[in-house]
Amino acid sequence: MKKLLVVYGVVLGLFSLYIFNYARSEKTSSLKDETPLTGKLSEKFVMVTFQSGIEYWKSGLKGFEDGAQLFNVSVEYRGAARYDVHEQITVLEQVIAKKPAGIALSAIDPEALTPAINKAHEQGIPIVLFDSDAPSSKALTYIGTNNREAGSVAAQQMAELLDQNGETAVITQPRQYNQQERTKGFQKTILQKYPNMKVSAVLDGKGDELTSKKQALAILKKKPNMKGIFATEANGARGVAQAVKAAGLQGKVSVIGFDKDKKTLDGIKDGSIAATLGQDTWQMGYWSLHMLFLANHHSRSLPASIDTGVTIITKNNVDHYYAND
């Protein structure tokens, strides 16, 4: 009987413990809901790219995931497998249909993607553009390299390599907005700052190593005074470097590339690429997630754009970029 009473007492104590903690956990979880910068794992943000399998997007996705971890929300990665406008539109439409908490898109073509971007916006799904903008769309903001500025930096670097003297060409993907901007920034800076230089050709390398190589070989043949080629994306730079080598012009034609993938860094190391512009793709993903989360939870207004910056990579500092990869 005494023992039974002790048991009752303990049970009573444990019961109050249970009640107390139940109330407490209720309070904790309601506090959690009020914590202004904590989301729910059911809140899913989707990153949409093109050529979705390439190494290039990995660091941006890591930034997106790091942002999601900070806010306790989920992410999903989608994209067109190929370099295909229609495929990317289809993927984006599928993502919109699932009504995610937000979408970060890198647009393969600014005009073609705009209707689908605007559809997301009109359905109340926050959408931001990263890396390649669609500036006439209703997307909330753009996060990425200021590509006009990056093109201008490439022109200044080219001028330094060429002692401000000589003919140059650009190999690019003319339909993608970020590439257009890099090309314009390069052309304008040469035109305005370097009277003894000129851009005598802008060619379509289709974002492809082989096409870029062919284009470069053709222009090197056609314009024997060519002194420098700026490739506005990584595959192009590798193709151009091969063309310069094949034409026996190594050391006579300077190649400037874009991005810091391993093959480009190898090109810098072996001298076939003189310089490349490194983008901070991790930041693009990280701030995309931030902006989408804040659009959902708080912000009265978002920035017009966020410039994630570029760094010039040459033989002098290339080792640092291997180390950080």
Give the residues lining the site for a second copy (CB under 8 A). Answer: 1-2, 5-14, 16-17, 20-21, 24, 28, 35-38, 70-71, 143, 146, 280, 282-283, 286-287, 298-310
Residue 87 C-beta: closest distance to a second copy, Å: 31
Q: Which residue lies nearer to a second copy by CB, 81 or 322?
A: 322
Residue 97 C-beta: closest distance to a second copy, Å: 31
Residue 323 C-beta: closest distance to a second copy, Å: 14
Phi, psi for 142 (deg, rounded to 5): -125, 130
How many whole angstroms separate alpha carbon 156 and alpha carbon 177?
Answer: 21
How many whole angstroms separate alpha carbon 294 and alpha carbon 36?
Answer: 10
Q: Which two tokens stand for residue 30?
A: 């309601």
Residue 183 C-beta: closest distance to a second copy, Å: 17
Q: Which residue lies nearer to a second copy by CB, 162 or 294?
A: 294
Q: Which residue lies nearer to a second copy by CB, 128 or 219?
A: 128
Residue 10 C-beta: closest distance to a second copy, Å: 5
Sheet with 197-204: list strands edge to edge: 197-204, 166-172, 226-231, 254-258, 275-279, 310-313
3-state percent helix, strand, coil for the chain, nearest multiple of 5: 50, 20, 30
Q: For the chain, what's the residue count?
A: 325
Q: Which residue lies nearer to a second copy by CB, 50 or 321?
A: 321
Q: Which residue lies nearer to a second copy by CB, 13 or 271?
A: 13
Q: Residues with Cβ < 8 Å from 82, sequence gap 6 or more?
A: 50, 51
Q: Which amino acid is at 69?
A: Q
Residue 229: name the closest of 247, 210, 216 by CA.
Answer: 216
Residue 26 C-beta: closest distance to a second copy, Å: 14
Q: Which amino acid is at 84?
A: D
Q: Which residue lies nearer to a second copy by CB, 66 or 208?
A: 66
Q: Which amino acid is at 141?
A: T
**String of DSSP letters for 100-125:** -SEEEE--S-HHHHHHHHHHHHHTT-
Q: Which residue lies nearer to a second copy by CB, 188 or 214?
A: 188
Residue 319 C-beta: closest distance to a second copy, Å: 19
